[in-house]
Amino acid sequence: MKAHSAITTRPAIKAVVFDLDGTLVDSRLDFSAICSDIGWPAGTPLLEQLATVSCLTEKARVEQIIHQHELAGAEAASWIPGALQSLQQLQQQGWPLAILTRNMRLATERVISRLQIPISLVLTREDCAAKPDPAGLRLIAQQLQVNCTDILYVGDYLFDLQVAANAGSLSCLYLNGANQQFVDQANFHINHFNQLPVLVNKISGRT
């Protein structure tokens, strides 16, 4: 775990918001395979590229491929080690929790139902502009009656760090062995979810 020195000048956080896939759950989504099925180069940002498709027939084809992969991922999803216990501990301590994901609602609801994820406030890409646009975090802040600066956003990818920065929130990168290149853009990072409750309480001033 680490923090930038500037964090000490900020107010304590009041809520914790999570990314879903790759952070709380492993849905085994293969984004290279999705790009390959569509016919796009590997590494293409899916939602951003989809927004540029003007042909309705082509747009529907691409959406169908993405949906199929997301729904298959929802059926295969399993908990990231320690994530459930971390959520339970944070809830016992009284922390408001939420999820902001780029996934579609149907797949997200399936994952939450299958794994009994104990978070009720969930925003998907149908609810707001997709990350890294800060609209989702702003909506969550409104619903939780906190400021964006009161939020710690936990994720595993660059978009997660960017959405936090764009909203004025703090970010925590969950290191998974393949995302070390993003660590310098995060305010904090953890290697295992058992570290998160300690970190949250530390930066909130509770410990």
Find out if CATH 3.40.50.1000 is the number for domain 5-26+78-204: yes
Range with the poorest average pLDDT among 33-37, 93-97, 154-158: 33-37
Q: Which two tokens stand for residue 150?
A: 């009161």
Higher-confidence residue of 129 and 37: namely 129
Model confidence, pTM = 0.86
* Nearest CA-CA partner of 27 in 83, 111, 105: 111
pLDDT band at 1, cuts 50/70/90? low
* % pLDDT > 90, the chain: 73
Task: Say what the alpha-carbon torsion angle 139, 141, 142, 143 is, to the nearest 10 degrees.
Answer: 90
Distances (CA, A) of 187 to 11, 12, 69, 131, 143: 14, 14, 32, 18, 24
* pLDDT higher than threshold 50 for residue 3: no
Model pLDDT, residue 204: 84
Packed helices 56-76 and 105-115: angle between N→C axes, nearest 10 degrees: 10
Q: Which of helix, strand or coil describes residue 68?
A: helix
Domain residue limits, the chain: 5-26+78-204, 31-76
CA 65 to CA 35: how far, in whole Å? 9
